[in-house]
Amino acid sequence: MRSLLGVAVISAGLVVAAAGSFAQTPAPVKPVALSDNLPIPDAPAPKVSKAWLVMDYATGQVLAGENVDTPVDPASITKVMTSYVIAAEMAAGKVKATDPVMMSENAWRTGGAGTDGSYSGFEVNKTAPLEQMEKGMVVQSGNDAAIALAEHVAGSSEAFAQLMNAYAKKIGMKNSHFANPTGLTAEGHMTTAHDLARLGQAMIRDFPEAYAYNKIKEFTVGPITQPNRNLLLWRDASVDGIKTGHTAAAGYCLLASAKRGDQRLISVVMGDTSENQRAVDSLALLNWGFRFYDTHRLYEAGKSLATAKVWKGDENSVQVGVAQPLLVSLPRGKYDQLKATMDLPKSLTAPIAKGQRIGVVKVTLDGKQVAQAPLVAVTAVEEGGFFKRLWHELLMWWNN
């Protein structure tokens, strides 16, 4: 593999310059015009917290944070994982929104009004539609509803926790282990700020309808109406989720997300001092991220970025590009300073399948890599005829 020799950046967008048989095209995005190019101030770190971060939703890039991979008690933010499992099982056809979910005596005694935790108020030994029970869990943070849902989906909270851990692994939560669907303190029930941000990202991306429950400001069960505990829903119209948590062991926690224009950010604050302070600290992080960072789409999926020489094919070259859109989060005003290189083989031999991985494109800023993506064949190249293959065999021998 070799890195392309020429690199050029122009104000109209990112350009990868190439020599020899490689051609290039600029990214179609024009950078945002700014009146300044000042250094970015430090993120407003919470004065008291166990861990915190702010992350770009589109790229998964952590813009700032502390102790992001340190194990912490997630408290009721756990219920986002519970919601994800329920949504995934619904998508698989295993449960339905209309299913009657029983508020068992176990769920009522373990997570109901007689406990110290939050509860939804569904009547014991009676059923409610799954969708209503889930809203009681999401909006009211009902521990009783979370247990009842777990029992309905998997038979018991213990069996449901196994599903939680399987789905957590699937969505890339690398340092998490769940012991229950509620977030009540339990041995081994831990996660990290980074994993919670990944969970929020997955919930928004994979199940937007279920995610939308998180912006409901209040929910009524019987005679009891309870507000959503996420104070940011009242303080900033761009915030549309996601979940609070509090126990004596965890402190006050908040996983939040906001969308302004085309940009979405996710913040996590763990172990704060009060319900109000976790909202204040989270909003400060979101405001900082929106003010000082932009998300750029560098390359579109399936568009040709370069051509590579092909031997023994019905075509003498293959077009290469990225299989998925390549996005990057950057400090505002830094777009013009991006540099990109492509690592591609000196030559390729047919046949080449469409989508076949061929190389890699790397994007750097100030000498540090900020994005990377595989390069794949945008078009297929079939084998050439017998005489062309024979001729190319001779040329390849001669060149070597």
Cβ contacts of 157-163, under 8 Å, gap ≥ 24: 157/181, 157/182, 160/82, 160/85, 163/85, 163/89
Q: Tell me the percentage of the chain whose pLDDT exceeds 90.
A: 70
> Catalytic: which of 76, 257, 267, 329?
76
State residue 309's pLDDT score.
87
Q: Minimal CA–CA distance to 74: which of 202, 134, 166, 164?
A: 164
When computed from its CA atoms, the radius of gyration of the chain, rounded to whole angstroms, is 26
Interval 136-172: pLDDT, tens = 999 999 999 999 999 999 999 999 999 999 999 999 9
CATH 2.60.410.10 in the chain is located at 2-28+300-399
Select from 148, 147, 164, 173 the least CA-distant residue to 89. 164
Structure tokens at 107: 């769920």
pLDDT at residue number 236: 98
DSSP 336: G
User: For 148, how many CA atoms within 13 A lie in the half-sphere containing its CB?
Assistant: 36
DSSP state of 41: P
Out of 20-24, 227-231, 318-322, 378-382, pick the least confident: 20-24
Identify the weakest region by mean pLDDT among 19-28, 318-327, 358-367, 386-395: 19-28
Give the model's pLDDT for residue 29.
Answer: 45
pLDDT the model gives residue 13: 40
Q: Classify residue 283 by its DSSP letter.
A: H
Q: What is the pLDDT of residue 21?
A: 32
In the chain, how many H helices and how many E strands? 10, 20
Active-site hit among 83, 118, 120, 141 = 141
Q: Is the pTM of this model over 0.85?
A: no
Chain region(s) in the chain for CATH 3.40.710.10? 51-295
**pLDDT of residue 6 exceeding 70:** no
- The residue that leads in pLDDT, 84 or 14, is 84
- For the chain, give the mean pLDDT: 88
Dump pLDDT digits (tens) for 215-233: 999 999 999 999 999 999 9
- Tell me, yes or no, if 76 is annotated catalytic: yes
3-state secondary structure 17-28: CCCCCCCCCCCC
Q: Could you confirm whether 156 is annotated as catalytic? A: no
- Dist. CA 72–CA 78, nearest whole Å: 12
Average pLDDT, stretch 40-55? 96
Is the separation of the CB atoms in 109 and 167 below 8 Å? no
Residue tagged active-site, from 49, 50, 79, 267:
79
Q: Is the pLDDT of residue 3 over 70?
A: no
The arithmetic mean of pLDDT across residues 246-263, rounded, is 95
| DSSP type of residue 334 | -
Name 343's bridge partners.
Answer: 3, 360
pLDDT attached to residue 37: 63
Residue ranges of E strands in 171-290: 218-221, 224-227, 239-247, 251-260, 263-272
Q: Which residue has the higher pLDDT, 123 or 392?
A: 123
Tokens of 126: 């009676």
**Residue pair 41/185 in contact by the 8 Å Cβ criterion:** no
Predicted confidence at residue 129, as pLDDT, reads 98
Q: Is 169 in the active site?
A: no
pLDDT range class, residue 347, cuts 50, 70, 90:
confident
CATH superfamily of this structure's domain 2-28+300-399: D-Ala-D-Ala carboxypeptidase, C-terminal domain (2.60.410.10)
Residues contacting residue 242 through CB under 8 Å, at least 6 positions apart = 80, 200, 203, 204, 211, 214, 230, 255, 256, 257, 266
CATH 3.40.710.10 fits 51-295, yes or no: yes
Q: Grade residue 2 by pLDDT with cuts at 50, 70 and 90.
A: very low
Bigger pLDDT: 104 or 13?
A: 104
Distance CA 218, CA 233 (A): 11
Distance CA 317, CA 29 (A): 27
Q: What is the pLDDT of residue 310?
A: 86
More confident residue, 8 or 208: 208
Q: Which of 266, 256, 249 is nearest to 234 (CA)?
A: 256
